[in-house]
Amino acid sequence: MDLTLWQYQFRFIMLGDSTVGKSSLLKRYTEDLFLESINQTVGVDFYVHFLEVEPGVRVKLQFWDTAGQERFRSVTRSYYRNSVGGLLVFDMTNQDSFDHIKEWHAEVCDRVQPHTVLFVLVGQKSDQDAEGERVVSREEAEKLARELGVPYVEASARTGEGVRDAFELLTRWVYQGLLSGEVELQEGWDGVKCAAPYALQLQRANLAQPSTASKNNKKCCA
């Protein structure tokens, strides 16, 4: 099987203050690597990963890894609009990074209208909990997640804990949104691409009529 073949492409954006570990999360997820010394992102970096969301349905995930530093904001803002999903990342040992999450969320939501972005809130550096370095409790983070209407995952790029969960939760959420029609393919918008859009319409129609769904091939773009 050609591993570069895909039925869907989703564009995700990494958001959060500098040093919370956005690039480290991506390095862990896409290369299974962790670097104690990693360069600060300058502007925006780009990562790719493939995920099979159900047998025979491969999604190409494109990640825009933005710099958290304010001076790059004018560059990073231009990537919001063509993203279908975003990871809102804070460092659980850094109160300010948590306090700024609402601003990151509002900044993106305001700028992507009329599109919407699906978010997952990620509490990073969970390995530091055992070291007594944690300053943001799980309860506080879950409360914020409820306010924003997004799921919450704790992760550590250093140990790998929770990293796949965070990325795959978001991917499956977008995929389900596509099947239900909550996420729409739109001309001139690159958040989602489908290799065979007509097949997606068929799959949606099948899902809406369970009796016929079982008789037909359920796979989109197959």
Count of residues making up the chain: 222
First to last CA, the chain: 13
Tell me which H or E stretch contains 177.
helix 163-180
Half-sphere exposure of 69 (CA within 13 A, CB side): 8
Q: What is the largest CA-CA distance in the chain?
A: 56
Site track for Mg ion across 131-150, x = CB under 5 A: --------------------
Query: Which one of 21-29, 56-64, 117-125, 171-179 is the stretch in contact with Mg ion (CB under 5 A)?
Result: 21-29
Q: Return the closest-CA partner of residue 26 out of 52, 45, 9.
A: 45
The least CB distance from residue 129 to ligand GTP, in Å, is 10
Could you give phi then psi for residue 46, rounded to 5 degrees?
-130, 130
The least CB distance from residue 158 to ligand GTP, in Å, is 4
Among 41, 126, 171, 203, binds Mg ion (CB under 5 A): 41
Query: Which one of 23-31, 96-104, 131-139, 195-203 is the stretch in contact with Mg ion (CB under 5 A)?
Result: 23-31
Contact call for residue 76 and ligand GTP (CB under 6 A): no
Query: Which one of 1-9, 15-23, 166-174, 188-196 is the stretch in contact with ligand GTP (CB under 6 A)?
Result: 15-23
